[in-house]
């Protein structure tokens, strides 16, 4: 074993890092597009309810396991029990989580590469360099591999600096910048013609859609992905938290900020789609549903920005910068999962472990890029649709059943002395034992069947 464990220096530092992890492409891209394809306001309402009734308790399970054991995903779970069979299951679950975190990063880096390439494209556009702009805009193996390596190198450079000087420092800088950019951009987009139509779709729920089965499963899956649950990210960040932090409150801030930014991103993206519609840009696909997926962000919105002249190009520049920042503060948390495992398992320096693992992940990204049609969609499905909910359920079961009630209470009481009298302690332990795993298993079964 090597190296002493890092620790966040303050609650603000933890909240920046954890919300940095949570707020990513899942919020700024996934949430608005899912909302658009699931009846607008109806999805928003169900999502918000599930984020607090289901994802927040699961987030607490991860944070508590992490802070209690002060270990990585693989080392943590076996420590919660004396039973050898459960220890083996815990270790296997941990290893699976590390693998899934690494695979998520391998496809996330590709999507981030597409988005990052739009930043120099916008600069070239503003400078009147059309050939350069179109090279950056159009996907090619060379462009995608170059930006993928650049994105992973930025991620590794931050992670290699450690918890306080790398992750905490950069998240604390980038998260406020992200918030300002979203607020500014939303204010601008909402003044453009057509925006109000989008706003109506976004905010007025169509209650006839609330009972639709795919709405519920999509909203739950989205809540798990968005809070970075299941793969040990929040567990590892929890292991760097100070014992004096009030866990239920700090976790609630993270869930609130994450949902708040997803909500804000919807206020930006959906009205922007309707502004595009006003400009004659197609926003419905062949089956009459709103365009979602890569085409929305990489075709519809850039076409809109271009049609607005110089100010549009500037809006585009800020928009893609914002997406790149959001992706970066999430990718560092993904890379931290295998890196902490390597640090606590082998004798290796942080910087060496980080660069080695990042290179391995780049190799997987290249494999995906070169076999895009066969691999890209499958890796996303296997990791986010199947593995994240299943792993989330396992972590809830471990926190609820393997971690002794007294230890749970003393962990929560460490930074919150009145814990025993609080509502959280009255509800949460049985919630995590029964309600969360059962609901997650229902999503899992539904996902497999559909």
Q: How far is the CB of 225 from ligand PHE (least distance, A)?
A: 5
> What is the spatial distance between Cα 326 and Cα 352, in angstroms, rounded to a whole number?
25
Q: Kindly tell me which residue out of 246, 330, 365, 447 binds ligand PHE, with binding defined by CB under 6 A.
A: 330
Contact 240, 159 (CB under 8 A): no
> What is the spatial distance between Cα 430 and Cα 400, in angstroms, rounded to a whole number?
7
- Paired strand residues for 218: none
With respect to ligand PHE, which residue has the nearer C-beta, 216 or 332?
A: 332
Q: Is 233 in the site for ligand PHE (CB under 6 A)?
A: yes
Stretches 182-190, 220-228, 237-245, 392-400: which one binds ligand PHE (CB under 6 A)?
220-228
Contact 368, 110 (CB under 8 A): yes
Stretches 165-173, 176-184, 225-233, 427-435: which one binds ligand PHE (CB under 6 A)?
225-233
> What is the spatial distance between Cα 64 and Cα 295, in angstroms, rounded to a whole number?
39
Q: Is 338 in the site for ligand PHE (CB under 6 A)?
A: no
Q: Is 369 in the site for ligand PHE (CB under 6 A)?
A: no
Q: How many residues bind ligand PHE (CB under 6 A)?
A: 15
List C-alpha distances in Å: 385 to 156, 322, 329, 447: 26, 26, 22, 7
Question: Could you say which residues in the range 15-44 bind ligand PHE, by CB under 6 A?
Answer: 21-22, 24-27
Q: How far is the CB of 101 from ligand PHE (least distance, A)?
A: 6
Q: How far is the CB of 206 from ligand PHE (least distance, A)?
A: 25
Q: Is 335 in the site for ligand PHE (CB under 6 A)?
A: no
Q: How far is the CB of 1 from ligand PHE (least distance, A)?
A: 25
Identify the residue whose tokens are 């695979």.
103
Q: Is 171 in the site for ligand PHE (CB under 6 A)?
A: no
Contact 245, 415 (CB under 8 A): yes
Q: Kindly tell me which residue out of 34, 118, 228, 447 binds ligand PHE, with binding defined by CB under 6 A.
A: 228
List C-alpha distances in Å: 366 to 122, 143, 335: 25, 12, 17
3-state secondary structure of 62: helix
With respect to ligand PHE, which residue has the nearer C-beta, 132 or 364?
A: 364
Closest CA to 404 of 58, 68, 56, 66: 68
H or E segment at 387?
none
Write the DSSP symbol of residue 284: B
First and final CA of the chain: distance in angstroms? 44
Q: How far is the CB of 327 from ligand PHE (least distance, A)?
A: 7
> What is the spatial distance between Cα 154 and Cα 162, in angstroms, rounded to a whole number?
14
Q: Kindly tell me which residue out of 33, 333, 365, 447 binds ligand PHE, with binding defined by CB under 6 A.
A: 333
Q: How far is the CB of 340 from ligand PHE (least distance, A)?
A: 13
Q: Kindly tell me which residue out of 225, 274, 319, 362 binds ligand PHE, with binding defined by CB under 6 A.
A: 225
Tokens of 67: 């802070």
Q: Is 106 in the site for ligand PHE (CB under 6 A)?
A: no
Q: How far is the CB of 30 from ligand PHE (least distance, A)?
A: 7
Q: Is 102 in the site for ligand PHE (CB under 6 A)?
A: no
Q: Helix 84-126 crosses helix 372-380 at what angle (to 10 degrees)?
A: 120
With respect to ligand PHE, which residue has the nearer C-beta, 22 or 199?
A: 22
- Paired strand residues for 205: 40
With respect to ligand PHE, which residue has the nearer C-beta, 34 or 333?
A: 333
- Displacement of CA 201 from its chain's centroid (Å): 25
Chain positions contacting ligand PHE, by CB under 6 A: 21-22, 24-27, 104, 225-226, 228, 231, 233, 330, 333-334
């Amino acid at each position: 074993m090597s190296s002493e464990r890092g620790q966040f220096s303050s609650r603000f530092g933890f909240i920046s890092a954890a919300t940095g992890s949570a707020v990513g492409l899942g919020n700024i891209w996934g949430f608005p597009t899912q909302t658009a394809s699931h009846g607008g306001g109806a999805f928003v309402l169900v999502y918000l309810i599930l984020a607090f009734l289901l994802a927040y308790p699961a987030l607490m399970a991860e944070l508590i396991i992490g802070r209690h054991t002060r270990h990585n995903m693989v080392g943590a779970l076996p420590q919660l029990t004396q039973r050898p069979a459960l220890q083996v299951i815990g270790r296997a679950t941990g290893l699976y989580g590390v693998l899934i975190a690494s695979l998520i990063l391998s496809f996330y880096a590709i999507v981030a590469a597409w988005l990052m390439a739009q930043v120099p494209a916008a600069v070239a556009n503003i400078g009147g360099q059309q050939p350069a702009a179109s090279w950056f805009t159009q996907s090619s193996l060379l462009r995608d591999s170059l930006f993928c390596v650049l994105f992973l190198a930025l991620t590794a450079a931050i992670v290699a600096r450690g918890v306080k000087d790398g992750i905490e420092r950069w998240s604390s800088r980038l998260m406020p910048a992200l918030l300002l950019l979203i607020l500014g951009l939303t204010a601008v987009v909402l003044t453009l013609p057509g925006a109000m139509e989008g706003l109506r779709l976004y905010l007025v729920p169509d209650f006839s859609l609330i009972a639709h089965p795919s709405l519920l499963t999509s909203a739950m899956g989205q809540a798990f992905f968005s809070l970075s649950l299941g793969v040990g990210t929040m567990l590892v960040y929890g292991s760097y938290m100070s014992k004096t932090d009030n866990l239920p409150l700090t976790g609630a801030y993270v869930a609130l900020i994450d949902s708040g930014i997803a909500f804000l991103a919807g206020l930006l993206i959906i009205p922007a789609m309707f502004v595009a519609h006003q400009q004659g840009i197609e926003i419905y696909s062949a089956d009459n549903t709103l365009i979602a997926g890569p085409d929305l962000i990489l075709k519809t919105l850039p076409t809109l920005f271009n049609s607005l002249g110089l100010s549009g190009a500037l809006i585009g520049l800020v928009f893609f910068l914002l997406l790149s920042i959001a992706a970066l503060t999430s990718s560092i948390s993904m890379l931290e999962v295998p890196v902490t495992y390597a640090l606590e398992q082998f004798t290796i320096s942080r910087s060496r472990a980080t660069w080695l693992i990042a290179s391995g992940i780049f190799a997987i990204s290249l494999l995906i890029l070169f076999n895009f049609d066969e691999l890209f969609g499958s890796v996303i499905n296997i990791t986010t649709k199947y593995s994240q909910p299943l792993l989330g359920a396992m972590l809830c079961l471990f926190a609820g059943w393997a971690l002794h009630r007294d230890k749970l209470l003393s962990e929560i009481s460490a930074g919150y002395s009145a814990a025993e009298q609080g509502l959280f302690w009255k509800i949460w332990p049985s919630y995590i034992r029964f309600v969360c795993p059962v609901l997650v298993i229902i999503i899992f079964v539904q996902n497999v069947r559909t």
